[in-house]
Amino acid sequence: MSQTRLSHDALPAERRPSLVHAAYEAIKRAICNGEFAPGFQGSEIEIAERLGMSRTPVHQAIIRLQAEGMVELKAKRGVVICALSPADMRAIYDVIVAVEGMAAMLAAERRTVERQALCADLEALNGGLRQAIDGDDLHRWAALDSDFHARLVEGSANGRLEQIAKVHLDQSHRARRMTLRLRPRPVRSLAEHQAIVDAIRIGDGTAARDAAQAHKIAARDLIINLLETYHLQHL
């Protein structure tokens, strides 16, 4: 075992949660990016070695990921990366539709100064999205689009909504990654984003909720159609 791993295990208990979080983020990122593909199986030791981490935080991170439906712990097989079907992805997007709609409504009900700060951030991200589309940089577009929706949910000032949204947005990333080059240029999303921002700016919670939900419903239908058209059954 390396000196680094020994020092990790020797850390006092109050510092271990940060190691668990780092392991959690590293494993989740490897799943979302396809490094640990659907159906991949391996021991906790193998995963820890591949990530250059010690086993204890990896074990705790895997328990958390199992609760979120991203992995399974199976006897004699170790850790198995769960595959997602189009039906799973539809269910994930249904949750995102509900959560982001509520987040947009709550954001629109906040104080004017808070709404304006949120809208400035969202418009800056939308500007970056336009540049990415104009430059045909779809990977940058996908990253900035994720940032836009994360900032939108954060703007609700509701930590529970953020937690639910993060789990499901992370899982939806797997479908987005596989369909990135199959979809039409996402120009329409810019106007849909702006509609959300405009409603939040004037404090119209109903309009903000409706715009956010319509946007995610369109995204859901596009993704599911691509998955079914190209027979992408195991994400």
Helix ranges (DSSP H) in the chain:
3-10, 16-32, 44-51, 55-67, 86-108, 112-134, 138-154, 159-179, 188-201, 205-229
Rounded-to-integer distance, Cα 113 and Cα 26, Å? 36
Residue 16 has pLDDT above 60, yes or no: no
Confidence tier at 76 by pLDDT (50, 70, 90) = confident
Confidence tier at 161 by pLDDT (50, 70, 90) = very high
Rounded-to-integer distance, Cα 38 and Cα 60, Å? 21
Arithmetic mean of pLDDT, 106-134: 98
Residue 84 has pLDDT above 90, yes or no: no
> For residues 174, 179, 181 and 185, what is the CA-based torsion angle, rounded to 10 degrees?
-110
Pick 3-81's CATH classification: 2.60.40.1180, 1.10.1040.10, 1.20.120.1730, 1.10.10.10.
1.10.10.10
Domain with CATH 1.10.10.10 in the chain: 3-81
Residue 8's identity, in one-letter code, is: H
Rounded-to-integer distance, Cα 138 and Cα 178, Å? 12
Position 34 scores a pLDDT of: 84
Residue 86 has pLDDT above 80, yes or no: yes
Confidence tier at 186 by pLDDT (50, 70, 90) = very high
Confidence tier at 232 by pLDDT (50, 70, 90) = confident
For residue 200, which of 124, 129, 100, 112 has the smallest C-alpha distance? 112
Average pLDDT, the chain: 90
Position 17 scores a pLDDT of: 59
Rounded-to-integer distance, Cα 116 and Cα 80, Å? 45
What class does CATH assign to 86-229?
mainly alpha
Q: Between residues 84 and 192, which one has the greater pLDDT?
A: 192
Residue 7 has pLDDT above 60, yes or no: no
Position 8 scores a pLDDT of: 44
Chain segment 17-56, per-residue pLDDT in tens:
589 999 999 999 898 888 898 889 999 999 999 989 999 9
For residue 60, which of 7, 18, 87, 24 has the smallest C-alpha distance? 24
Domain with CATH 1.20.120.530 in the chain: 86-229
Confidence tier at 221 by pLDDT (50, 70, 90) = very high
